[in-house]
Amino acid sequence: MTPTPAEHQPPDRAPLTIQLDAESPPAAGRPRWLPDMARRETAASARVPNAAAAFGRLTPASTPEAGPLALPVGTVVPYDMALDRELRQFSQDAYGFAQLDLLFTRTPFEPLAVTVEQAREISRPELITDAVRATSATGPVGYIYGCTSGSFVRGLHGERRLIEAMTRAGAEAAATARFAVDAAGGYDTPAQPELPPPFAVTTSGALLEAAQRLGVTRIAAATPYDEAIGALFGRFFAEAGIELVHTANLGRSGRIWTVPWDETCELVRRADHPEAEAVLVACTNLPTYEILDQLEQDLGKPVLSANQATVCSALRRAGRQYTGPGATLRSTFGAPSTPAHLTSQEAV
pLDDT band at 184 (very low <50, low <70, confident <90, very high): low
pLDDT for 250 equals 97
CA atoms within 13 A on the CB side of 33: 16
% of the chain exceeding 90 in pLDDT: 66
Question: Over the stretch 91-141, which tens digit does the pLDDT of each residue have?
Answer: 999 999 999 999 999 999 999 999 999 999 999 999 999 999 999 988 899
pLDDT tops 80 at residue 15: no
More confident residue, 26 or 309: 309
For the chain, give the mean pLDDT: 81
More confident residue, 68 or 334: 334
pLDDT tops 80 at residue 308: yes
pLDDT band at 333 (very low <50, low <70, confident <90, very high): confident
pLDDT for 29 equals 42
pLDDT for 139 equals 85
pLDDT tops 90 at residue 211: yes
Q: What does each C-alpha distance from 78 to 83, 128, 154, 158, 275 come to in angstroms?
A: 11, 10, 16, 17, 33
More confident residue, 68 or 223: 223
Q: How far apart are CA 324 and CA 275, in angstroms?
A: 27
Q: How far apart are CA 94 and CA 96, in angstroms?
A: 6
Average pLDDT over residues 316-324: 95
Listed ranges 26-30, 175-179, 308-312; the one with the highest mean pLDDT:
308-312
Q: How far apart are CA 284 and CA 149, in angstroms?
A: 9
Average pLDDT over residues 189-218: 87
Please write down the HEC assignment for all residues of the chain.
Answer: CCCCHHHHCCCCCCCCCCCCCCCCCCCCCCCCCHHHHHHHHHHHHHHCCCHHHHCCCCCCCCCCCCCCCCEEEEEEECCCCCCHHHHHHHCECCCCCECEEEEEEECCCCCCCCCHHHHHHCCCHHHHHHHHHHCCCCCCCEEEECCHHHHHCCHHHHHHHHHHHHHHHHHHHHHHHHHHHHHHCCCCCCCCCCCCCCEEEEHHHHHHHHHHHCCCCEEEEEECCCHHHHHHHHHHHHHCCCEEEEEEECCCCCCHHHCCHHHHHHHHHHHCCCCCCEEEECCCCCCCCCCHHHHHHHHCCCEEEHHHHHHHHHHHHCCCCCCCCCHHHHHHCCCCCCCCCCCHHHHC
Q: How far apart are CA 13 and CA 8, in angstroms?
A: 15
Average pLDDT over residues 15-38: 41
pLDDT band at 196 (very low <50, low <70, confident <90, very high): confident
Of the listed ranges 40-44, 115-119, 312-316, the one predicted with least confidence: 40-44
pLDDT tops 80 at residue 238: yes
CA atoms within 13 A on the CB side of 268: 31
The answer to whether 248 touches 223, Cβ cutoff 8 Å, is yes
pLDDT for 207 equals 98
pLDDT tops 60 at residue 237: yes
Furthest-apart CA pair in the chain: how many Å? 79
pLDDT for 183 equals 60
The residues, ordered by sequence, that sit 6+ positions from 195 with a Cβ below 8 Å of its Cβ are 139, 171, 174, 175, 178
**Domains of the chain from N-terminus onward:** 67-182+194-336 (3.40.50.12500)
Residue 313 burial class via C-beta count within 10 angstroms: exposed 0-12, middle 13-18, buried 19 and up: buried
pLDDT band at 172 (very low <50, low <70, confident <90, very high): confident
The residues, ordered by sequence, that sit 6+ positions from 34 with a Cβ below 8 Å of its Cβ are 26
pLDDT tops 90 at residue 36: no
Strand order in the sheet with 218-223: 243-249, 218-223, 278-281, 303-305
Q: How far apart are CA 230 and CA 152, in angstroms?
A: 10
More confident residue, 139 or 183: 139
Average pLDDT over residues 142-160: 98
Average pLDDT over residues 54-59: 38
Question: Over the stretch 62-72, which tens digit does the pLDDT of each residue have?
Answer: 444 445 579 99
